[in-house]
Amino acid sequence: MNDELDFVSKLPARNLIDPNAFDVSMSAVLIGLGAEKYIDIFREHNIGQCTLIELTDEDLEKLGVTDPEIRKKLIEEVKNLPIYEDTAANQTTVSPNLSVIDIIDVLEESSQHMYRIYLSMMTNTLVLKKQKTPDCLIYKDKYASHIAVTTLSHMTNVLNSMEIALHTQMKVYVSMHAYSQAWLLPSSHSHASFADDGVLMEMGKLATAALADMYGTKYQVGTAAEIRQPATGMSHDWAKARAGIKFSYHVDLRDSFGPYGFLLPGSQIVSTARETWQAVRAIVDNLSPGFK
């Protein structure tokens, strides 16, 4: 009876199931395997089901799970956890035959997510240096600063690889918005142009001419700085400067500066879609062989 009370006292105060953190289910697993003496270690490191399924025998030993039999039981037990089945199911349902568009979407989403992490890590590292915070020994001769710098270096390499991959797959980038009927070239923040802006301008004029052929809708072609005023930067600027996509445009669709603004009448939506498709098609049809 006393042993059972001891076990209960080791359970988390809040009996919530959270696979991403140490919870009542992790306590139950450890107690069931006769590993209750390691509960404090798992709680201290906030190890939940999601973390446990990724730990190796070496990882468990470093954590302080010194009993090899317990480590073996833990590694076997993860296969019985619901989260293990869910993870395995997710891995098997990923299609190996992704289309080019699917691959680009995955790369772009992953790249943006990693870039946010990269900026966060860089910012925190700089703050710690500025505050002259003492370095922290993580493992043997590995200090926190060394691990942070190494991680940032790896992330930089991955991000660069993603940008190269995007560059080799995407030849045209068109970001569509409303409104003002403008076909904007990159370099929103400045009147200075890219070296190949002449080609971008020519292709933009070709696209808007094809668009006008259908219903007579007129578009302005140029940078945001030229047509309106400088902007801090838009997605087509990133697509051109960072991803290396040669023909990158920001397109503001109908209305012009007429009475409708953002509230374009339903009667104009289909015609807007048709003429815009004509413009995009004109760009793709006129790509030089080297860019197709």
Task: Give the bridge partners for 250, in sequence order.
Answer: 175, 184
Q: Confidence band (pLDDT; 50, 70, 90) for 55?
A: confident
Pairing of strands 220-223, 172-178: unpaired
Domain that includes residue 287, residue range: 172-291
User: 206 and 258: one domain?
Assistant: yes
User: 231 and 274: one domain?
Assistant: yes
Is pLDDT at 11 greater than 50 in this prediction?
Answer: no
In what helix (H) or strand (E) does residue 208 lie, and over which residues does it extend? helix 197-215
The reply to whether 94 falls in a domain is: no
The reply to whether 106 falls in a domain is: yes
Q: Which two tokens stand for residue 222?
A: 């140029």
User: 40 and 76: one domain?
Assistant: yes
183 closest CA partner among 252, 282, 235:
252
Least confident of 44-48, 153-157, 220-224: 153-157
Given a contact cutoff of 8 angstroms between Cβ atoms, the answer to whether 65 and 57 are in contact is no
pLDDT at 4: 41
Q: Rounded to an integer, what distance in angstroms lies between the CA atom of residue 184 and that of residue 193?
A: 12
Provide the percentage of residues in the chain whose pLDDT is more than 70: 59
205 closest CA partner among 220, 195, 217:
220
> How many domains does the chain contain in total?
3
For the whole model, what pTM was predicted?
Answer: 0.46
Least confident of 84-93, 111-120, 220-229, 251-260: 84-93
Mean pLDDT score across all residues of the chain: 77
Q: Confidence band (pLDDT; 50, 70, 90) for 166?
A: low
Is pLDDT at 15 greater than 50 in this prediction?
Answer: no
Q: Quick one: average pLDDT of 52-62?
A: 86
User: 125 and 183: one domain?
Assistant: no
CATH number, domain with residue 49:
1.10.150.50
Q: Rounded to an integer, what distance in angstroms lies between the CA atom of residue 81 and that of residue 88?
A: 11
pLDDT at 88: 55
Q: Rounded to an integer, what distance in angstroms lies between the CA atom of residue 189 and that of residue 154?
A: 30
- Residue spans of alpha helices (H) in 216-288: 224-227, 235-241, 269-285
Is pLDDT at 291 greater than 60 in this prediction?
Answer: no
CB count in 10 Å sphere of residue 200? 21
257, amino acid identity: F
Between 95 and 144, residue with greater pLDDT: 144
pLDDT at 82: 65
The reply to whether 255 falls in a domain is: yes
Q: What is the pLDDT of residues 168-227, one digit of tens each?
A: 567 899 999 989 999 999 886 666 666 566 889 999 999 999 999 999 999 999 988 888
pLDDT at 103: 65
pLDDT at 183: 96
pLDDT at 285: 92
CATH number, domain with residue 282:
3.40.630.10
